[in-house]
Structure 1
Amino acid sequence: MDFSGSDKKKYVFYFRVSTKRQGESGLGLDAQRTYLNHFYSGKNVLAEFTDAVSGKSIDNRPQLLKALELCKKEKSILVVAKIDRLSRNTEQALSIYRDLEGRLESCDIPNLDKFTLTLFMAIADRERELISIRTKNALDEVIRRRNGKNWREASAAYKTGEASKSGILAIKAKALANANNKRAGALISEYRDKGFSWQIISDKLNDAGFKASKGGKFQAVQVQRIYYRIVEPV
């Protein structure tokens, strides 16, 4: 990226938060704005667009589509604070990169090009897949315990994935209802934006007197779960 401030390029800022609640509260949005204002101070910014939706698809993000349309019309550069604010899908991110003829920048990927974009997105894709696997394994374990560790024929809802979806929604609802998790989520988001590891964040929460859902100390894996259930739902 050229941060000299002397170029005459035109820029369009794009922000995304995962829920309407986060958009209204500024949770995550303020951090994104801080990054862009820092790195692009004095730049020629044409407009800003913000969506409050999941990052799984670009079809349900009207503000992103408007931002892309403006970038194509003005030959401007689309800028995001973090690449996962643009998309969590490698193919979608590369498609946007091609449509903009490479006019895409992200504060967390200096000198972004097709290679680095592909690499970062592939890592994000794998992390999302691992989270899905861990969630399914946790649900399988619950079913095994409820049946006295004896497997029974899976129901139609489980085979079609509806049972899994319901279980995930129930887990998320419980986490969101936990006031302690909400307060911890705000701190986790702040620390994660600063680049802290899950272990360091858990240590900071414990030092601050926060308690896990069962009253014990926070572990790194618990911090990660809260982040992906409350701060950045996958």
Structure 2
Amino acid sequence: MFRRFIAYRRVSTEQQGRSGLGLEAQEAAVQGFLAAQGSQAKLLATYTEIESGKRDDRPELTKALEHVRLTGATLIIAKLDRLSRDAHFLLGLQKAEVDFVACDMPSADRFTVGIMAMLAQKERELISERTKAALAAAKARGRRLGNPNGAAHLRPYGNARAIEAVRLDAQERAERLRRIINELRSSGVTSANGLAKALNERHVATARGGTWTARSVLNVMERL
């Protein structure tokens, strides 16, 4: 009798997705594991997620889990330790109540990932608290946060990866603001000045912790 598998793999950026960095290694780990199972192992499908670990929506993971439920297959991932700080993934895996196997930790089970999820969530909270405290302390000392030229100051050094990282971070924040901006526009607040005022009234901070202006709203709208 065939043992059926659905593979799920994830990388953090579009650049990694295009280059295959990370994906090829995950594919090799999955294929190696399946080969060790013999001819009875059958891979039904592979779902690939290109998402930042900061985001909580995982559409490809949702599809993979649904496919697993429909077929009675086993979800297979290459490296559980690579996802051990992704609380959303781990909780989803635990709550899905499906069979799964991690190539690097074949003995892991729902109890294991439940503990990992709690630790991952706590670590994210601690990182956030430390970052906010450090920024507040710097601001209290009168230090201006950020660079007025954005990522442009990195170009003379040829640091294309750093520039791309800044761009992706700005894009991710814009995506997180999409829902609230759409709600405001649906309620009749459509001008940049009106959106800026509404965001400030809701205490939504800008990426640098400041207040919204029409220009900063337009910057976000352009990214969306």
- Tell me the TM-score normalized by structure 1: 0.53
**How many equivalent residue pairs?**
155
Runs of at least 5 residues in structure 1 that lack an aligned partner in the other structure = 1-6, 149-166, 184-234
| Deviation digits for residues 171-221 of structure 1 (CA, Å, limit 9, x no counterpart) | x958987755949xxxxxxxxxxxxxxxxxxxxxxxxxxxxxxxxxxxxxx
Runs of at least 5 residues in structure 2 that lack an aligned partner in the other structure = 163-224
Q: Does 2:49 correspond to 1:51? A: yes
Larger Rg: 2
Counterpart CA distance in 2 for 1:68 and 1:86 is: 18
Displacement, 1:168? Answer: 8.6
Counterpart CA distance in 2 for 1:81 and 1:44 is: 16
- Give matches, 1:81-160, under 5 Å: 81-83=78-80, 85=83, 88-89=86-87, 93-99=90-96, 101-146=97-142
| Deviation digits for residues 100-131 of structure 1 (CA, Å, limit 9, x no counterpart) | x3412223433122221112222322322232
Conserved in 1, the CA contact under 8 Å of 2:84 and 2:116?
no
Q: Does 2:10 correspond to 1:16? A: yes
- Tell me the TM-score normalized by structure 2: 0.55
Conserved in 1, the CA contact under 8 Å of 2:69 and 2:98?
no
Displacement, 1:95? Answer: 4.3
Sequence identity (%): 36
What CA RMSD, in Å, does the superposition of the two structures yield over aligned residues?
A: 3.6
Conserved in 2, the CA contact under 8 Å of 1:17 and 1:85?
no
| Aligned partner of 1:66 among 60, 63, 68 | 63
Q: Which has the higher contact order (CA 8 A, sep 6+)?
A: 1
| Aligned partner of 1:79 among 50, 69, 76 | 76
| Aligned partner of 2:26 among 22, 32, 36 | 32
The residue matched to 1:125 in structure 2 has which SS? helix
The residue matched to 1:146 in structure 2 has which SS? coil
Counterpart CA distance in 2 for 1:109 and 1:147 is: 46
